């Protein structure tokens, strides 16, 4: 009967039945040879060639495997030794002739059966004790050599566990004695032993260079972030030693067990020079901005909040903010050890810490927009938005200054917040830009995560969408009343709607920009900016209207996808 299996050598390599004849073996080899050229994949070709030779030998000798041996714990059954017999012609005993040694092809057949039966038992495959018992049970020298060769060839299969390779090397002593395997077939033995020793060396390197191997096996960060990671205590030296060991002493580990692109990436990180501006530039800029917010909020509530009215108190607040944020940034990116970094990542994944700044930010901005003119709510909001900025930066990291500036300008100017604040309270000119900075953090990091969370809860998404459209109607009604209080409430409502609209649907501002011919894009931007500064109410209505169209299209697409799946 057919015995094709993932653990039956060499039939699984050729893709034929174990009782195939010589003609079938040759046809299968010719077919696979077209796919595994020696000049393209030498290792695959060597495996195919040896499988072909083994199958051809077994087919010629009529040794196709029918059933596996019943047990791996006992030695092969040998012929009984004839007993001495007494003859009539002599009073003595005639000694029986010694038993003839097992023929070579019989040893090969028995070894193949024995190893295939052992390899089919997955629970014993990674047990060193089972391997020791298997080879101890074989007393015939030729059969033991064939069994060792079958085990070596099995190490070339992709599904062979690394633990099996290391256990075989330890039980059979391949590190110290592998010359007999290379004499039999140097190409196959070299390929298999390279893989075996690569597994052993890889395991030893993981124990010796724990932090460096964790970086090498983890996701590949940007180049600057990788260079930052190497600045932690001892990690850079450890990575240098690891890459030196891989290049000089363990090249097979880098070739067979590691991603060559990641090895090259971390090599470039070691030679990457980080200046103080690149390392602390974003942190310094955002720290100065938060210090400016705290300093202005600490001034007299009835003052005009301009720089010429600063006192030593405001300067001390600014410097203190710079010091605290720089120390916090250095501690979270450079000074912490790997276990401390792991605890920090766990802490950052807590829901209320990761997303708690969002409702605080939106609530503070909305409260500042509804300030009755005393300046108290605006000052409190400045402090709150400064805290939220530091909070978001410590959770998500410091974005690139260019990206942060563009998104902050869109959030502050493009949506009309700066125009509205300048027309109502020009003394609070920092507020729209503080709101824009947090909008940049939200758009860069949290928006996509919130969108995925809401997409997994369709009923909640429908409810939020209905509330959004109700808010859109309330926004239009409040803006049409044209009194100061209604306008303040309208902009407070629009603050929440602008953030929620990007969660309910994918905003397509870039598509609108690409729809305009390149020659006219600059003029369109200028017109939009002029309207945002002079007529911010129009910009708010237009922005909310565009978001409503995108939300409707998004829900139509989801409904169509649900019908298709049904």
pLDDT digits (tens, 9 = 90+) for 96-106: 344 344 445 57
Closest C-alpha to 283, from 151, 441, 390, 154: 390
DSSP state string for 137-160: T---HHHHHHHHHHHHHHTTSTTS
pLDDT digits (tens, 9 = 90+) for 502-522: 999 988 888 888 888 888 888
In whole angstroms, give the CA distance from residue 59 to residue 64. Answer: 6
**pLDDT at 87 exceeding the cut of 60:** no
Residue 52: both structure tokens together: 């072909």
More confident residue, 532 or 122: 532
**pLDDT at 36 exceeding the cut of 90:** no
Q: What is the mean pLDDT of residues 150-166?
A: 85
Q: Which of 7-11, 112-116, 250-254, 423-427 shows the lowest mean pLDDT across its residues?
A: 7-11
Whether residue 32 contacts residue 50, with contact meaning beta carbons closer than 8 Å, is answered with no
Q: What is the mean pLDDT of residues 455-460?
A: 89
Q: What is the DSSP letter of 85?
A: E
Q: What is the mean pLDDT of residues 336-351?
A: 80
Q: What is the mean pLDDT of residues 165-171?
A: 89
Identify the bridge partners of residue 94 per DSSP, sorted by sequence position. 85
| C-alpha separations of 6 from 11, 116, 201, 232, 550 in Å | 9, 10, 27, 46, 52
Q: How confident is the model at residue 276 (pLDDT cuts 50, 70, 90)?
A: low
In whole angstroms, give the CA distance from residue 241 to residue 397. Answer: 29
Contacts of 229 (CB under 8 A, 6+ apart): 215, 221, 235, 269
Closest C-alpha to 48, from 181, 151, 161, 156: 156
Instruction: Map tokens 């920009």 to a residue.
Output: 513
Whether residue 216 contacts residue 263, with contact meaning beta carbons closer than 8 Å, is answered with yes
Q: What is the DSSP letter of 86?
A: E
pLDDT digits (tens, 9 = 90+) for 124-139: 777 888 888 888 888 7
DSSP three-state, residue 228: helix
Give the DSSP H or E segment for 94: strand 93-94
Could you tell me what percent of the chain has a pLDDT over 90? 25
**pLDDT at 33 exceeding the cut of 60:** yes
| Whole-number average pLDDT of the chain | 81
Residue 145, phi then psi, degrees to nearest 5: -65, -40
* Range of 209-218, 310-319, 379-388 with top mean pLDDT: 379-388
Closest C-alpha to 256, from 181, 188, 201, 218: 201
**pLDDT at 176 exceeding the cut of 80:** yes
Whether residue 234 contacts residue 211, with contact meaning beta carbons closer than 8 Å, is answered with yes
Could you tell me what percent of the chain has a pLDDT over 70? 83
Chain centre distance of CA 539: 40
Domain boundaries, the chain: 11-74+102-200, 209-271, 323-565
Q: What is the CA radius of gyration of the chain?
A: 37
DSSP three-state, residue 408: helix
């Amino acid at each position: 009967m057919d015995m094709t299996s993932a653990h039956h050598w060499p039939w699984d390599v050729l893709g034929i039945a174990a009782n195939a004849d010589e003609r079938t073996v040759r046809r299968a080899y010719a077919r696979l040879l077209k796919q595994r050229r020696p000049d393209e994949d030498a290792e695959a070709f060597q495996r195919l060639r040896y499988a072909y030779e083994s199958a051809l030998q077994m087919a010629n000798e009529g040794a196709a495997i029918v059933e596996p041996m019943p047990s791996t714990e006992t030695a092969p059954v040998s012929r009984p030794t004839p007993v001495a017999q007494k003859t009539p012609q002599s009073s003595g005993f005639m000694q029986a002739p010694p038993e003839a040694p097992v023929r070579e092809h019989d040893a090969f057949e028995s070894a193949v059966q024995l190893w295939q039966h052992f390899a089919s038992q997955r629970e014993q495959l990674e047990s060193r004790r089972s391997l020791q018992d298997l080879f101890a049970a074989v007393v015939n020298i030729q059969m033991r050599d064939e069994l060792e060769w079958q085990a070596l060839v099995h190490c070339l299969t992709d599904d062979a566990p690394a633990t099996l390779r290391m256990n075989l090397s330890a039980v059979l002593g391949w590190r110290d004695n592998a010359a007999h395997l290379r004499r039999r077939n140097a190409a196959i033995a070299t390929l298999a032993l390279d893989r075996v020793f690569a597994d052993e060396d890889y395991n030893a390197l993981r124990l010796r260079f724990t932090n460096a191997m964790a970086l090498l096996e983890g996701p590949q960060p940007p180049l600057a972030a990788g260079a930052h990671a190497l600045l932690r205590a001892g990690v850079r030296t450890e990575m240098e030693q690891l890459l030196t060991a891989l290049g000089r002493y363990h090249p097979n580990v880098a070739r067979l067990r590691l991603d060559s692109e990641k090895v090259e990436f971390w090599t470039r990180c070691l030679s990457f020079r980080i200046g103080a501006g690149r390392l602390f530039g974003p942190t310094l800029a955002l720290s100065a901005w938060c210090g400016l917010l705290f300093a202005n909020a600490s001034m007299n509530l009835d003052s005009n909040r301009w720089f010429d009215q600063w006192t030593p108190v405001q300067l001390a607040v600014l410097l203190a903010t710079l010091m605290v944020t720089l120390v916090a940034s250095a501690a979270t990116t450079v000074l912490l050890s790997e276990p401390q970094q792991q605890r920090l990542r766990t802490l950052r994944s807590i829901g209320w810490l990761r997303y708690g700044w969002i409702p605080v930010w939106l609530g503070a901005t909305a409260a500042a927009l509804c300030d009755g003119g005393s300046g108290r709510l605006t000052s409190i909001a400045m402090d709150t938005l400064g805290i939220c900025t530091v909070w978001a930066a410590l959770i998500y990291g410091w974005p690139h200054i260019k990206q942060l500036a563009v998104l902050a300008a869109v959030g502050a100017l493009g949506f009309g917040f700066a125009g509205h604040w300048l027309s109502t309270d020009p003394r609070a000119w920092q507020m729209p830009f503080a709101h824009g900075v947090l909008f940049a953090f939200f758009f860069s990091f949290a928006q996509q995560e919130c969108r995925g969370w809401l997409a997994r809860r369709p009923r909640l998404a429908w409810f939020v969408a209905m509330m959004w459209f109700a808010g859109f109607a309330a926004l239009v009604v409040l803006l049409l009343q044209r009194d100061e209080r209604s306008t303040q409430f309208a902009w407070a409502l629009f603050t929440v709607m602008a953030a929620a609209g990007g969660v309910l649907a994918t905003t397509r501002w870039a598509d609108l920009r690409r729809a305009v011919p390149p020659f006219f894009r600059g003029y369109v931007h200028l017109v939009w900016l002029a309207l945002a500064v002079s007529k911010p109410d129009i910009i708010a209505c237009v922005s909310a209207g565009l978001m409503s169209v995108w939300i409707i299209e998004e829900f139509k697409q989801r409904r169509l996808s649900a019908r298709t799946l049904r």
